[in-house]
Amino acid sequence: MTESTSDALRAGALLAAGDLHGALLAAQSGLQAQADNAELWNLLGVCAARLEQLAMAEQCWRQALQCDPRTPDAHYNLGRCLMAQGQLAQAEAHYRAELAQRPEHAACQGNLGVLLEEAGRLDEAEAQYRLALRLRPQSAAHCFNLGRLLYRRRPEEAEDWLRRALACAPDDVDALNLLGQRLAERGERAEAETLLRRALVLEAGHAGALTNLGLLLQAQRRWAEAEACLGAAAERAPEQAQVLGNLALCLWRQGRSAEAEPLARRALALEPVGAEAHQQLALALAQQGGWEEAEATLRAGLDAQPLHAGLRRNLAYLLLTQRRWGEGWPLHEARLETAPSPALASPRWRGEELGGRRLLLWFEQGYGDALQMARYLPQLLRRGPGRVIAACRPALLPLLEAQGWPVEWLPIAGLDGPWPEHDCHVFSMSLPGLLQPEPTPEPAYLRADAAARAAWRARLPAGGRKLGLVWRGRPEHEFDHCRSLPDLEALVPLLALPGVQWLALQPDLSETERDWLRARGVPALGDELADFAASAALLAELDGVATVDTAFGHLAGALGLPCALLLSARHADWRWGLESETTPWYPGHRLFRQSEPGDWAEPLARLARALPDGLGISA
């Protein structure tokens, strides 16, 4: 054994034992005796890199390769060093040089995959990860890397690889975080929360896990817990615009835009051309009534990214809220780029005369949106279609079919088809911009079935005013916590009015709600309303309805029924405008807005005072 070999062995042993300084001294001692020893130069480079002396490490590895281009791991180590400095092209060359000599080098195969992923060469990266896994199928790192890549491309395949990574390394925090994120996205909230909390037990300050747990809790409206997680993530990563923006949006969703605004401004300062930061600031400003600056903020974002769908969509909402219809409708088309839509091969209809062509009309979004847009069917039919096939959600079908329009109705069962033969298509929320940008009052454009009305008439109490009541919407709605009443006790002033028979139209009542209504003599009829045809028949026999912002409000308007619409100060939909008590969409509506976020007592008191006068509106 030569003296230099002995030094190399000693340096390697000290390095393996974690004695970096000892290993470094041993390597340096050996190089004094034999300056062209490639193995010692390689070991010295490893010591320097672990001591975070990257410039020295790079020099050592280059020297090792100059002494012997076949030095094991020298190309690999130099590739890692160059990659850490962002020199991807040079790093790739050294990784490939290592693999040309040692194709079984699994770690090098995996690192080359990471490099290719960072470079955006995802097909090559995926192939590289799979090659590394063939060499080391039980490698947690390789399983995680492939899972992370697939999460970007085919999320349904990613989950299996992330679970494999955790089977190999149960305490892999990054795998726990990413799998938790994936499960949260597909609604597996309990398991997602378990994984994310485990990640935080292992690494309390993991910004990704804090963020993902915060977003998961926010989706469940566990506001205090969500805010705590997102706030901790912002403290951990104060220079990450996305992390600050997440906290800003959490506060905005709670109606706390004065607190959200400075966070959004900080995020925008960090990413001056960031589309998300522009949107977050605009939302915070608009909720505080700063419409002019909100618009300027969105337009500044569009100057930097003219095609960004989110910016165009939010600017559309802002303009439509201000009843700037001509400006808003074209931008509103951006919604189709940000929401799931059917993949239709036919061209979009752009408003021209149809000349006998077959048109597929897709009623999109929620029930209320579809009921609102049904007003445009007569105008559409005057554009000369040879055939109109209208696809809508099944619960709407009986009502819309009964209107007698020359339309073939199709229930929506999913986004994949197959669809009947047609020449062009249009989405329902595009109809205003194509047919009549400025809405005009239409007293009634839907009618209820006469026989079903008569059946309800025979059941309802005779005499007195009969008013329907709806106090909450679907809990899945993003802003249901804003629009729905949190407590039935808030309705007491209405129920105390003399000469009014209230009828609860609310579906899905709890037993507590049933008992509360029964004790106050309010019949609960919501469970008998199987679809919108049944709802329409009952509403048509009432004198009016009081409701929060749900499809019942749109149905009442479409039937020409007087409606008191209760609106949140935190989030009111664009179609209800800014401050007016009326809406151009439904002449029989009167809008009762919160003066303060979360305070329903004041608008309900105003409604109680208005009811003796028939809501102050004639249908």
Task: Judge if 469 and 604 occupy the same domain.
Answer: yes
Task: Judge if 379 and 292 occupy the same domain.
Answer: no
DSSP for 195-227, please give it.
Answer: HHHHHHHH-TT-HHHHHHHHHHHHHTT-HHHHH
Q: Where are the beta strands (DSSP E) in 375-417?
A: 387-392, 408-411
Task: Judge if 538 and 430 occupy the same domain.
Answer: no
Look up tokens 């600017």; give the residue: 315
Q: Is the CB of residue 409 less than 8 Å from the CB of residue 400?
A: yes
CA-to-CA distance for 583 and 603, rounded, in angstroms?
A: 17
**Mean pLDDT, rounded, for 298-327:** 97
State pTM to two decimals.
0.86
CA-to-CA distance for 291 and 282, rounded, in angstroms?
A: 8
pLDDT at residue number 170: 97
185 belongs to a structural domain: no
Q: Which long-range contacts (CB under 8 A, 24 or more apart) does 136-140 make?
A: 136/106, 138/168, 139/106, 139/110, 139/168, 140/165, 140/166, 140/168, 140/169, 140/172, 140/175
CA-to-CA distance for 145 and 162, rounded, in angstroms?
A: 9
Task: Judge if 469 and 599 occupy the same domain.
Answer: yes
Task: Judge if 458 and 606 occupy the same domain.
Answer: yes
221 belongs to a structural domain: no
15 belongs to a structural domain: yes
In the chain, how many domains are there? 4
Q: Measure the CA angle with vertex 159, ends 171 and 340; round to 5°.
A: 135
Per residue in 48-77, pLDDT tens?
888 888 898 898 899 889 999 999 999 999
Identity of the residue numbered 193 = E
Identify the DSSP state of 616: G
Task: Judge if 265 and 410 occupy the same domain.
Answer: no
CATH number for position 40: 1.25.40.10
CA-to-CA distance for 275 and 30, rounded, in angstroms?
A: 56
- Beta strands across the sheet bearing 500-504: 500-504, 465-470, 544-548, 563-567, 589-593
The whole-chain average pLDDT of the chain stands at 92
**Mean pLDDT, rounded, for 579-591:** 94
Task: Judge if 465 and 583 occupy the same domain.
Answer: yes
Would you say residue 415 has pLDDT above 90? no
Point out the least confidently predicted range of 238-252, 298-312, 465-479.
Answer: 465-479
% of the chain beyond a pLDDT of 90? 81
Task: Judge if 281 and 308 occupy the same domain.
Answer: yes
Task: Judge if 497 and 590 occupy the same domain.
Answer: yes
pLDDT at residue number 619: 35
Q: Which of 80, 102, 124 is the last residue of a domain?
A: 102
CATH number for position 478: 3.40.50.2000
Q: Is the CB of residue 48 less than 8 Å from the CB of residue 56?
A: yes
Per residue in 172-181, pLDDT tens?
999 999 999 9
392 belongs to a structural domain: yes
Identity of the residue numbered 257 = S
pLDDT at residue number 1: 40
Domain around 63: 1-102
168 belongs to a structural domain: no
294 belongs to a structural domain: yes
Identify the DSSP state of 334: G
pLDDT at residue number 8: 66
Q: Which of 373, 408, 435 is the last residue of a domain?
A: 435
Task: Judge if 495 and 602 occupy the same domain.
Answer: yes
CA-to-CA distance for 141 and 607, rounded, in angstroms?
A: 62
Task: Judge if 309 and 392 occupy the same domain.
Answer: no
Per residue in 315-371, pLDDT tens?
999 999 999 999 999 999 999 998 888 989 999 999 999 999 999 999 999 999 999
169 belongs to a structural domain: no
pLDDT at residue number 476: 83
Task: Judge if 296 and 368 occupy the same domain.
Answer: no
CA-to-CA distance for 146 and 126, rounded, in angstroms?
A: 7
Per residue in 215-257, pLDDT tens?
999 999 999 999 999 999 999 999 999 999 999 999 999 989 9
**Mean pLDDT, rounded, for 143-148:** 97
Q: Which of 376, 408, 435 is the last residue of a domain?
A: 435
Overall size of the chain counted in residues? 619
602 belongs to a structural domain: yes
